[in-house]
Amino acid sequence: MPAAVPLARRAFLARIGVLGAALGGGGLLTRSLLNPADAATNPLLPPAVDLVRPVLAALARDTLNGLTAFALPGPDQYSRTQRASSRTPGAMEAGATDFMINALEHFVPFPDALAQPISAALVTGLADTGISLPGLEVLPAELRTLDQAFAALLQSDETLPLSFPIAGLLNLMATQVNPAAVNGPHLSPFARLTYAEKAKAFELIEKTDSDLVALLDVQFPEPLKASVSGLLKFVGGALIEFATFGAYGEFAVFDPKTKQLRKRPVGWTLTGYQPDGPVEGWDDFIGYYQGRTEVHD
Amino acid sequence: MRDVIVIGAGGGGPVVAKELAAKGLDVLLLEAGPRHAKPREEWTTFEDDANNPLTGYFRLGPTDRSKPAWYREWPQNSFVWQLSGVGGTTQHFYGNYPRAYPGVFKGYDGADRNEYDVNHRFPFTYSEMVPYFEWVEAIMPVQTAAMGHKEQLFFRGAETMNLPVQTTKTTRGPSYRPQENAILQPGGTAGKTSDKNLLNYPQATGCTFCGYCFQGCMRPNGAPRNQFAKRSTDNSYVPMAVTAEVWARGGKPVELIADAYVTRVHTESRHGVLTASGVTWRDNVSGDEHREDARVVVMSGGCTENPRLWFNSGLPNPNGWVGRGYTDHFFDWMIGSFDDYTGNPKGVGSSARLDYPPYGGLENVGLPPALNAFAGTLSDSGIRGQYRNGRGQTGPWDGPAGRLMGPELKELLAGGIDKLLTVLVITDDDVEAQNRVTTSALPADENGPIPKVTFQQRKRTKRTLNNREFMARKAAELLRGAGAKKVYRIDWAPLILHVQSSMRMGESEHNSVLDPRGETRAVKRLFIADNSALSNGLGGPNPTLTSQALATRTAEKIFQTYFDGDPWVRKETPVVSTDPRISVRLGQLGL
């Protein structure tokens, strides 16, 4: 095993879901793509860093599918995996994952100066937490390539989509709650959890003095240090609130050009809101309480 | 050189601008965000399009919605609902205009006098404030709210609580009533039909019960801007400010510039006294910086932005109170589910309230689905049935407090959003130095170092914490009385939406930023006129009326002190903001 990839780091990559997404059963990269020998003999093969980028995107989407199904379960596979599903449409049908990704990647005005070190911390920062990782038998050479690709991506000027550290955080907590979640259906550990386990993952994020906060803080110089722990407390709540808002809103069916709805939002159907669409008013005026139309001292 | 530069066209700035424009002063009004001059083209009725804090047209950010919003640091689970744009947060407010409780003013001698935030009272009496309340109430105008089904249900619950009905403007003790709202009462077909062909102005006047207060009021369709039902400042004070020459003798219209982010207040030493001399603002679109001087500068950027601008301008903070004492009514949220129709998402966002000095109050709040879902999941108590995050209070509600989410929320809403009645729990919260705005260590944005808003929600004063528990129990009692089959308590994480007192006016120079006239103690010719100037959390009443009354008083002080003028509120009759002369002039201006 190459010294450049210590065990803790490899375990960490597995825990935030990257190894599984890249190389596990159903993973997005074939081992040969990352095989240095192949790369050396095939000049047309994209550099590993280009291979990693779509893996991260797919991992983030899968993780967020796990999150939005948690916010609004439906008849989909993610809801079934969490063992809380529903016959009526849920977050997948409402396009809530697209809502989250759109927000995280284009509109969260989160400074790169912070996103970048958080991402780096999530990939490199944690010590071995002593959790055994079943079923992880990756060839060292492949792992090394992947690891280097990561390092290259994180060190480049390229802005990482914010969905990556968010997914990393959720997956890290997922494997804390259930170490076996490094393997299984879906791409991400978080999506493999039951509903109760997902709740436990959020409990860990929300815990004010969580070890995670302490560990991540180590990676930041003062005065950013205190900011990161506060930020994580905020993120735990915001992910749930925002995913739920997105699942019940009109994002997926709203046409920004015409400012009209393409069809009825899932959230409206579920709640019976505005059965005939937007209105100019309602016939809900009953009168004035006790007939009083004005008051004076 | 202007007479007055006002920074911020939200709930407070336009009041000072309009009042001084009426006196003929040359006023420049600068707004950091957009000006929604054509709401029928720019707005919709949809929650994500309107209220998404990142992308919505009601967000904290520049006009160009393809650009990110302005990031603010909140180092705790919380949500500070700031809005940029002409109208500020009055764009999405519900127009609730209760007066502050008398107990929060100097000289109050009621039997419960020792039970308020006694160390942070207003430095003048309630009776001194009354003419300013009356002035604003006449201008808006403030009217007794019309009743829809959700209000009828709220009153049914309140009627079981052995409390009197308040039939005065002033709240003298625990009582309930229809809101006094800055919403025009329905007239003609308004409130009587859902047929949009019958809801055009002037066939319909005032509130049409559309239920879209939070998405912005542009109804009745076809009405002049100053006759839209909800009296946000972009429908009331701003139209008056930019047309001052037609309704005030000797009036001079205000110049309003949007997308103009003020990054610095300039000062100079005059005879050894630090004195405000002007401002620099940055054009959001071009990035160009502009500087202009003025005889008086008024900060009206709100509770979060005023302290930031103060710090970024390098102004002195001798007692350390700039940004401190931030109050937010430490809200909570209660949901009642009913077998019968409640009318929840229809009508004005809130038209019924219950006041309970010296503890706080309650009001009904109707919300559409996504905001309802958001409100059910914002909690400091974990997820109901899963974990409690060290809290999860139990009481006369069902189960522990906590997030109502996932399958449980879906099941609740499947019964129909119009079978819910939701109640906002409003706490009379204390001014505390620890709840504050500082400058963030995170990277600056294009307008300089950003503000950080810290609330120590679990470590608030005993009185604040007790008041919140008291009012949450009252909310449960009300919902049960109204016939709720189930009552849920969410235990909101800080939802900082009623904001007050972060640049507070006070009697003592040791714990206030403003002197009793509204001028900053540290810099002469620099005034603050918005919610941040309030001395305290008012006892719980929604802050806009009191804030605007105080801003009117501050405008008088500015005029008296620096322009040799006479006060007018006690001797003149106010012009109502719906005045047809204003409508005609707005039409000429293409507004």
Asked if the Cβ–Cβ distance from B193 to A90 is below 8 Å, we say: no
Instruction: Look up tokens 């940029």; give the residue.
Output: B84
B343 neighbors B150 (Cβ within 8 angstroms): yes
| β-pair type (B289-299, B526-528) | parallel
What digits encode the pLDDT tens for the residues B400-423?
Answer: 999 999 999 999 999 999 999 999
pLDDT tens for residues B475-512? 999 999 999 999 999 999 999 999 999 999 999 999 99
Residue in chain B nearest A256 by alpha carbon? B49
| Chain B contact present for A148, CB below 8 A | no
- The answer on pLDDT for B309 being more than 70 is yes
Place of tokens 């809103």: A249
Q: Which residues of B touch A246 (CB under 8 A)?
A: 48, 370
Contact A254 B177 (CB under 8 A): no
Write the single-letter amino acid at B96: N
Is the Cβ of A114 closer than 8 Å to some Cβ of chain B? Answer: yes
Give the range with max mean pLDDT: A6-15, A144-153, B552-561.
B552-561
Average pLDDT over residues B555-581: 98
Ranges A27-36, A225-234, B445-454, B580-589, most confident: B580-589
Q: Does A71 touch chain B (CB under 8 A)?
A: yes
Q: What is the mean pLDDT of residues A176-202?
A: 92
- The model's pLDDT over B142-176, given as tens digits with 9 standing for 90+, comes to 999 999 999 999 999 999 999 999 999 999 999 99
Least confident span in A15-29, A118-132, B500-514: A118-132
Interchain pair B407, A84: CB under 8 A: yes
The Cα–Cα gap between B216 and A110 comes to: 27
Beta bridge partners of B422: B335
Cα dist from A203 to A230, B290, B382, B414, whole Å: 15, 49, 7, 27
Task: Count how many pairs of residues, chain A against chain B, have C-beta atoms within 8 Å.
Answer: 268
Is there a contact between A280 and B79 if contact means CB atoms under 8 Å apart?
A: no
Candidates A70, A238, A283; nearest CB to B192: A283
CB contacts of A293 in chain B (<8 Å) are: 143-144, 185
Which tens digits make up the pLDDT trace of A96-115?
999 999 988 876 666 666 66
Give the closest-approach CA distance of A2 to chain B in angstroms.
Answer: 37
Distance (Å) from the alpha carbon of A17 to chain B's nearest alpha carbon = 24
What tokens does A177 get? 């709650």
Closest CA–CA distance from residue A156 to any residue of chain B (Å): 19
Q: Which residue has the higher pLDDT, A179 or B145?
A: B145
User: What whole-number distance in Å separates Cα of residue A188 and Cα of residue A22?
Assistant: 10
Spatial contact of B309 and B523, defined as CB atoms under 8 Å apart: no
Tokens of B459: 């470590």
Rounded CA separation B419/B484 (Å): 9
- Partners of residue A292 in chain B, C-beta under 8 Å: 144, 167, 178
A234, A284, A295 member nearest B168 (Cβ): A295
SS3 B514: strand
Whether the CB-CB separation of B80 and B30 falls below 8 Å is answered with no
Quick check: A281 and B199 CB within 8 A? yes
Token representation of residue B355 = 């006041």
- Specify whether the CB–CB gap between B216 and B58 falls below 8 A: yes
Q: How far apart are CA B548 and CA B14, in angstroms?
A: 9
Among A63-77, A150-164, B377-391, B525-539, which stretch is predicted with the lowest mean pLDDT? A150-164
Residue B114 lies in a domain: yes
Q: Which of B386, B436, B457 has the most A C-beta neighbours within 10 Å, making it the best mutation to test the interface with A?
A: B386
Cβ contact B18:B244 at 8 Å: yes
B475 contacts B362 by C-beta, under 8 angstroms: yes
pLDDT at B443 (0 to 100): 81
Is A273 in Cβ contact with B55 (below 8 Å)? no
pLDDT of residue A4: 37
Tokens of A77: 């596979």
For A287, name the nearest residue in chain B, comparing CA atoms only: B147
Is the pLDDT at A2 greater than 60? The verdict is: no
Nearest beta carbon to residue B193 from set A70, A254, A283: A283
CB B191 to CB A241 under 8 A?
no
With CA atoms as reference, the chain B residue closest to A297 would be B168
Asked if A230 lies within 8 A of B73 by C-beta distance, the reply is yes
Residues 6 or more apart in contact with residue B574 via CB below 8 angstroms:
B135, B138, B139
| Residue to test with chain A: of B377, B419, B458, most A Cβ within 10 A | B377
**Alpha-carbon span B493 to B512, nearest angstrom:** 27
Query: In this structure, how many other beta carbons lie within 10 angstroms of the beta carbon of residue A21?
Result: 29
pLDDT tens, position by position, B343-363: 999 999 999 999 999 999 999
Instruction: Identify the band that residue A233 occupies on the pLDDT scale cut at 50, 70 and 90.
Output: confident
Look at B155 and A39; give whichever has higher pLDDT.
Answer: B155
CA nearest neighbour of B57 among A256, A245, A162: A256
Lowest mean pLDDT segment, chosen from A128-137, A282-291, B367-376, B497-506 = A128-137
Question: Residue A12's pLDDT is what?
Answer: 65
Question: Is-contact A17 A171, C-beta < 8 A?
Answer: yes
Alpha helices in chain A (DSSP H): 7-15, 18-23, 31-34, 36-41, 48-71, 77-81, 96-102, 112-124, 140-155, 163-177, 195-206, 211-217, 224-248, 266-271
**Judging by DSSP bridges, how do beta strands B332-337 and B486-489 pair with one another?**
antiparallel
At which residue do the structure tokens 């879902």 appear?
A: B373
Q: What value does the mean pLDDT take over residues B432-449?
A: 92
Give the model's pLDDT for residue A165: 81
Q: What b-and-e string marks burial along B486-507, b requiring 16 or more CB atoms within 10 Å of the CB?
A: ebbbbbbbbbbbbbbbbbbbbb
pLDDT of residue B267: 98
**pLDDT exceeds cutoff 60 at A35:** no
Question: Cβ of A156 under 8 Å from any chain B Cβ?
Answer: no
- Per residue in B112-128, pLDDT (tens digit) is 999 999 999 999 999 99
Q: What total number of domains does chain B contain?
A: 1
Nearest residue on chain B to A260, alpha-carbon basis:
B44
CB-closest option in B147, B371, B413 to A286: B147
Domain-embedded: residue B442: yes
Q: Is A281 on the interface with B (CB under 8 A)?
A: yes
Positive or negative CA dihedral for A66, A67, A68, A71?
positive
B152, B373, B386 ranked by CB distance to A248: nearest: B373
**Shortest Cα distance from B371 to chain A (angstroms)?**
6
Select from A195, A271, A285 the Cβ nearest to the Cβ of B186.
A285
ipTM over 0.90: yes
Whole-number pLDDT of residue A9: 57
* pLDDT at residue A188 is higher than 70: yes
Q: Which residue has the tokens 């899963």?
A: B386
In the predicted model, is pLDDT for residue B539 greater than 70? Answer: yes
Q: What is the distance, to the nearest Å, from the Cα of residue B225 to the centroid of all Cα atoms in its chain? A: 20
Of A229, A238, A278, which is closest to B45 when you measure between CB atoms?
A: A278
**pLDDT confidence band for A122 (50 / 70 / 90):** low
B169 contacts in chain A (CB < 8 Å)? 295-297
Please list every residue in chain A whose beta carbon sits closer than 8 Å to the beta carbon of residue B76. Answer: 230, 233-234
pLDDT band for position A40 (50/70/90)?
very low
Neighboring chain A residues of B440 at a CB cutoff of 8 Å: 227
- Cα-based torsion angle of the residue sequence A26, A27, A32, A34 in order, rounded to the nearest 10 degrees: 180
All structural domains of chain A with their residue ranges: 7-291
Of the candidates B130, B346, B441, the beta carbon closest to that of A282 is on: B346
Which of B70, B147, B193 is the closest to A288 by Cβ?
B147
H/E run at residue B6: strand B2-7
Cβ contact, residue pair A281, B343, below 8 Å: no
Range of the domain at B249: 2-255+325-588
Q: Confidence class of residue A133 from pLDDT cuts 50, 70 and 90?
A: very low
Band of residue B433 on the pLDDT scale cut at 50, 70, 90: very high
pLDDT band at A127 (very low <50, low <70, confident <90, very high): very low
Query: How many other C-beta atoms are found inside a 10 Å radius of the C-beta of residue B280?
Result: 15
Q: Which of A109, A200, A270 sits opposite B410 (nearest CB)?
A: A270
Collect all residues of chain B within an 8 Å Cβ-Cβ radius of residue A86.
407, 410
pLDDT tens-digit profile of B261-303? 999 999 999 999 999 999 999 999 999 999 999 999 999 999 9
A151 touches chain B (CB under 8 A): no
- Joined together, the tokens standing for residue B362 give 């309650």
- Whether residue B311 lies inside any domain: the answer is no
A287 touches chain B (CB under 8 A): yes
Compute the average pLDDT of residues B62-72: 91
Nearest chain B residue to A273, by CA: B417
Average pLDDT over residues A140-164: 64
A264 contacts chain B (CB < 8 A) = no
CA dist list (Å): B142 to A131, B10, B182, B387: 64, 18, 4, 44
A262-267: average pLDDT: 98
Q: Could you give the CA distance from residue B456 to residue B469 in angstroms, rounded to a whole number? A: 17
The tens digit of pLDDT for each residue in A80-90 reads: 999 999 999 99
Distance CA B291, CA B289 (A): 7
Question: Residue A139: what pLDDT?
Answer: 38
Compute the radius of gyration of chain A from its Cα atoms: 23
> Does the beta carbon of A137 lie under 8 angstroms from any beta carbon of chain B?
no
User: A286 CB near a chain B CB, below 8 Å?
Assistant: yes
Residues of A in contact with B209 (CB under 8 A): 281-285
Q: Which residue has the tokens 């999405």?
A: B92
Q: Can you tell me the distance from the alpha carbon of B116 to that of B541, in angstroms, rounded to the nearest whole number?
A: 13
Answer for the pair B292, B5: CB distance below 8 angstroms, yes or no.
Answer: yes
Please list every residue in chain A whose beta carbon sits closer than 8 Å to the beta carbon of residue B47: 245, 249-250
For B372, the 3-state DSSP assignment is helix
Q: What is the mean pLDDT of chain A?
A: 78
Report CA B450 to chain centroid distance, whole Å.
Answer: 22
At A125, is the pLDDT very low, low, confident or very high (cuts 50, 70, 90)?
very low
| pLDDT at position A6 | 45
DSSP B309-350: HHHHTT---TTS-TTBS-B-TT-EEEEEE-SS---TTSSSS-
What is chain B's Cα-based Rg? 22
Say yes or no to pLDDT of A38 above 70: no
Average pLDDT over all residues of chain B? 97
Q: Do B377 and A281 touch (CB under 8 A)?
A: no
- Do residues B13 and B300 make contact, with C-beta atoms less than 8 angstroms apart? yes
Interchain pair B370, A254: CB under 8 A: no
Q: Using CA coordinates, name the residue in chain B closest to A99.
A: B48
Give yes or no for a contact between B454 and B372, defined as CB atoms under 8 angstroms apart: no
**Does residue A53 surpass a pLDDT of 60?**
yes
> Which helix (DSSP H) or strand (DSSP E) does residue A255 occupy?
strand A254-255
In this predicted structure, the answer to whether residue A52 has a pLDDT above a threshold of 90 is no
Question: Looking at the complex, does the CB of residue A221 fall below 8 Å from at least one CB of chain B?
Answer: no
Q: Is the dihedral of CA A55, A57, A63, A69 positive or negative?
A: negative
